[in-house]
Structure 1
Amino acid sequence: MHPSRERALLLPPPLRVPLAAAAWCLLLLQADAYFGLTGKEPLTQFPLLGPSTNPTHWKAHLKQCDLLRLSRKQKRLCRREPGLAETLRDAIRLGVVECQYQFRNERWNCSLDGRADLLKRGFKETAFLYAVSSAALTHSLARACSAGRMERCTCDDSPDLENRKAWQWGVCGDNLKYSTRFLKNFLGQKKVGKDLRAKVDIHNTNVGIKAVKNGLKTTCKCHGVSGSCAVRTCWKQLSPFHETGNLLKLRYDGALKVFSATNDAMGHSELASPQHHSHLAKGPPAPRATDLVYIEDSPSFCRPSRYSVGTAGRTCSREANCDSMCCGRGYNIQTRMVTFSCHCQVQWCCYVECQQCMQEEVVYSCKQ
């Protein structure tokens, strides 16, 4: 694709504050148009970066930063950080694929259709998008550091672990500390927004970051003769991002509707929710730091609108979700023949030989 065409695909309409976070979130949502994603492909593994002094690598890095739809500050940071552009691309793919997986059986399926209009509103779906985008970026940055794809960071250096011994044994902890510190600067979260929508967006962005932190575990390995633990090394390792996606989907299912309330003791406004039963004697009932929050009730997503294309034609499971997804309109039943590998046998020495079988499959799809 011609570079000018790529740039045209990534130009969104103006968004409200916080600009940096909104620009990144919209970039994540445009990844299908940019990468041609289907939601089924594996994540691309980027090769190790060459020396930053290599003029060819440096020019390629600057070009990638220019092609990404970023705010002015984000683009400046990208150009200063060799390896960041490819890490951003990795994060985009990671977040989009996970979002579409988590909502594959819902009326809203994280489609790109209506994405810009959706981000302008304060729906539950918008809350999830902010959370999953910040989580994907946090995860990808931490992994890029430990994989050697970023020049300004390396393995985790937590003081409670013997990291140098771990490095000697060829293992490298995921650097979540660097990732979260860089991310707050990248998304421009030094100051809390004054209006309700800005507070909500920042809150949901931080929920995504906390979800990644929740999956950080200490992994240990023993080294010694015959499996003895003569030497034991430990390092920090992130859980697979799919586990973070599962956690954020649970947060979405239990999201709280909030409003702005004045805290008399502190003298400023805070998020509050009548759905959250607070046991505190003073102050408004505030959502927890792990709660996704929203300010507007979502549309049904049943019919085509500015936010989605509706559910007509969507495949569903008759036992699980056809009644809900089809919004009471009913569903069509079709049969088709599908081909699959069967009767597989391992052949000497090193390959598997399979036959091709066919079977009839019943497909259910929502009526118009």
Structure 2
Amino acid sequence: MYLCFKKILTSVFLVFILVPTPHGYFGLTAREALSINELLTAHKDDESSIYNLSKAKVCDTLYLPRQQKKMCRRGKGIAMTLVQALRLASMECAHQFSMERWNCTLAQYRQKLLRKGFKETSFLYAISSAGLVHAFASACSKGSLDRCTCDESKHLENTKAWMWGGCGHNIRFGLKFTRKFLKRARKSGKDIRAKIDEHNSHVGIKVVKDNVKTVCKCHGVSGSCTMKSCWRQLSSFHKIGTILKSKYEHAVKVGAYTNHATEKSRHKRLKGPSVSSEVLSARRGDLLYLDNSPSFCGSGRYSPGTSGRVCDKDNNCEVICCGRGYNVLHKQVQRSCQCQVIWCCKVNCKRCLHEEKIHMCK
């Protein structure tokens, strides 16, 4: 049983490493995407060797700005937790946009995309900062970092919850590290774009913070609750991504104007094609953007387009294929069939051929 479970875990880990990973992006890092593809590809033959790399090697591979690189090299586990945060954010972004025209493709399009204030850029800032908080708060509870441990919030009934098998995620450390890390790459300029980027990063941080829950466990004779231990637990990152995707869909477009009395630049909400004269302060939870997004239909500066994309005939082919239609491909696949349960714990199945239809945009 143990050997089988170990084999399954090893297989899952290998698949996770070898599957092409999207380029990730940490919010306020000189508007550059950070790729871990090179790091993973160089060590795909031995999945354990990635954890044996020196901190300096990992930090250099992430192409961090100087101040962030110093933080990366400081302390045990920080470098690999940054890799985990990057992977977490990039994979969730790809999942949330998998059925849309823009499917979180960055790669060679990243620099041009991130120079614009699109809704997609806003989501990237938010999901990347959320990934940092989530990864570092989790790493503390796993003992991966030497600068923090389990959460010990004073308001909880038992601050030594770990004695009963509970180790809270250290959200306080995750928030502190993320804010400091992003601040290290923040430019001194305070133009409207810089303010919006910073705002969107804070939205991602706030969503993680607002979705922390308290979990309690009772201890006592016959199930009584004579003693109770509690700890704080992060929501799944998939839930965080879903919330941020909803905010993306309801993002607020803003425009810049200059207050001639104070010569300070501010932003105002735009209503459709016309500009509202009323200056509105954006709510803390809104994602903000400046520029209308391109269609992402054809190959261009911001994406490879949707030609050749697989779509769902009953759901999104019309949207993804941009009205061009789709080709239908027939594929033979083997699946388990005619399964029989043999007492007590064995299942015998045959392998049958099935034909699948794949719809691909023209």
Q: Distance in 2 between matches of 1:167 and 1:297?
A: 49
In the alignment, what sits opposite 1:271?
267
Query: Structure 2 length as normaliser, TM-score?
Result: 0.82
Query: Structure 1 length as normaliser, TM-score?
Result: 0.80
Q: Alignment RMSD, CA only?
A: 3.1
**Residue from 133, 136, 140 that aligns with 2:131:** 136
Gapped runs of 5+ residues in structure 2? 1-22, 42-46
Determine helix, strand or coil for the equivalent of 1:158: coil
Contact in 2 for aligned 1:20/1:187 (Cα 8 Å): yes
Contact in 2 for aligned 1:135/1:212 (Cα 8 Å): yes
Alpha carbons of 1:360 and 1:180: their partners in 2 closer, same or farther (altered >3 Å)? same
In the alignment, what sits opposite 2:68?
74
In the alignment, what sits opposite 2:241?
245
**Residue from 194, 216, 222 that aligns with 1:226:** 222
In the alignment, what sits opposite 2:33?
26
Determine helix, strand or coil for the equivalent of 1:150: coil
Cα deviation 1:250-269 (Å, max 9, x = unaligned) = 01111111123467999844
Number of equivalences? 328
Determine helix, strand or coil for the equivalent of 2:64: coil
Cα deviation 1:237-287 (Å, max 9, x = unaligned) = 0011000000010011111111234679998443321349xxxxx972122
Read off the aligned partner of 1:366 and give its amino acid letter: C
Q: Distance in 1 between matches of 2:315 and 2:135?
A: 34
Residue 143 of structure 1 deviates from its aligned partner by: 0.2
Query: Does 2:106 correspond to 1:112?
Result: yes
Determine helix, strand or coil for the equivalent of 1:301: coil
Cα deviation 1:277-321 (Å, max 9, x = unaligned) = xxxxx9721221111111111111100012111000101111111
In the alignment, what sits opposite 2:204?
208
Query: Does 2:58 correspond to 1:64?
Result: yes
Residue 215 of structure 1 deviates from its aligned partner by: 1.6
Query: Does 2:131 correspond to 1:124?
Result: no
Read off the aligned partner of 1:35 and give its amino acid letter: L
In the alignment, what sits opposite 2:191?
195
Question: How much identity, in percent, do the aligned residues show?
Answer: 49
Q: Distance in 1 between matches of 2:32 and 2:174?
A: 17
Cα deviation 1:175-226 (Å, max 9, x = unaligned) = 1111111111111178885101101110111111111112200111112233
Contact in 1 for aligned 2:55/2:73 (Cα 8 Å): yes
Matches within 5 A, 1:1-368: 21-23=28-30, 26-27=33-34, 30-32=35-37, 34-35=39-40, 60-113=54-107, 114-188=109-183, 193-261=189-257, 268-275=264-271, 284-347=279-342, 352-367=347-362
Q: Distance in 2 between matches of 1:145 and 1:128?
A: 26
Gapped runs of 5+ residues in structure 1? 1-11, 37-43, 50-56, 277-281
Contact in 2 for aligned 1:199/1:271 (Cα 8 Å): no
Read off the aligned partner of 1:21 and give its amino acid letter: L
Determine helix, strand or coil for the equivalent of 1:333: strand
Alpha carbons of 1:331 and 1:362: their partners in 2 closer, same or farther (altered >3 Å)? same
